[in-house]
Amino acid sequence: MADEGSAGGAARELAGEILGVLRASGRTVAVAESLTGGLVAAALTEAPGSSAAFRGGIVAYATELKAKLLGVDPRLLAEHGAVYPPVAAAMAAGVRERLGATIGVATTGVAGPESSDGHPPGTVHIAVSLAGDTVVRTIALPGDRDQVRRLTVERALGLLLGRLREDSR
């Protein structure tokens, strides 16, 4: 995959379109990232003028930080671990609320190279949260660690853009 700078071409295009939609509607976004380690935030802030729509991000890589910083129920984490669709949903809602954004986006999963908590590499959960409405997608991505992380960014941005388009209808 061709990559120039911090965000690949597809991610750059998606981020530019997302920021345009957000600015036009007066909405804002915040991100909670685990396996992507800040790559979604980097893609969204690469474009000039992103400060008008991007509130901020929290990289909660350690499981206990998902509870402390994002408000994920510690019992949920203890019972199911961090790689679980409701955890992604709680992360997205938590970052939206804590950072005062109208939309929250979250990524959690296993980038690899080894499995984690019984989940194979490429297992990814992405969530987009608007007040009262959170959508979660579970996907299995191919590739090495870098490919899984970059594809997750593209899928997260794609889900966000789709949700923005759906919400504006």
Sheet harboring 54-59: ordered strands across?
54-59, 29-33, 103-109, 123-130, 133-140
Q: Is residue 23 part of a domain?
A: no
Q: Is residue 4 part of a domain?
A: no
Q: Is residue 147 part of a domain?
A: yes
Number of structural domains the chain divides into: 1
For residue 88, the domain's CATH number is: 3.90.950.20
Question: Look-up: residue for tokens 């909405």?
Answer: 27
Confidence of residue 17 (pLDDT cuts 50, 70, 90): very high
Tokens of 116: 């984690």
- pLDDT score for 71: 98
Residue 114, pLDDT > 70, answer yes
Buried b / exposed e across 3-13, counting CB within 10 Å, b at 16+?
eeeebbebbbe
Q: Is residue 21 part of a domain?
A: no
- pLDDT score for 6: 47
What residues make up the domain containing 157? 9-16+28-167
Q: Is residue 3 part of a domain?
A: no
Confidence of residue 130 (pLDDT cuts 50, 70, 90): very high
Residue 133, pLDDT > 90, answer yes
Higher-confidence residue of 130 and 168: namely 130
Q: Is residue 59 part of a domain?
A: yes
Q: Is residue 97 part of a domain?
A: yes
Q: Is residue 22 part of a domain?
A: no
Q: In angstroms, rounded to a whole number, what is the distance separating the alpha carbons of residues 60 and 9?
A: 26
- What are 91-102's pLDDT values in tens digits? 999 999 999 999
DSSP state of 135: E
- pLDDT score for 167: 84
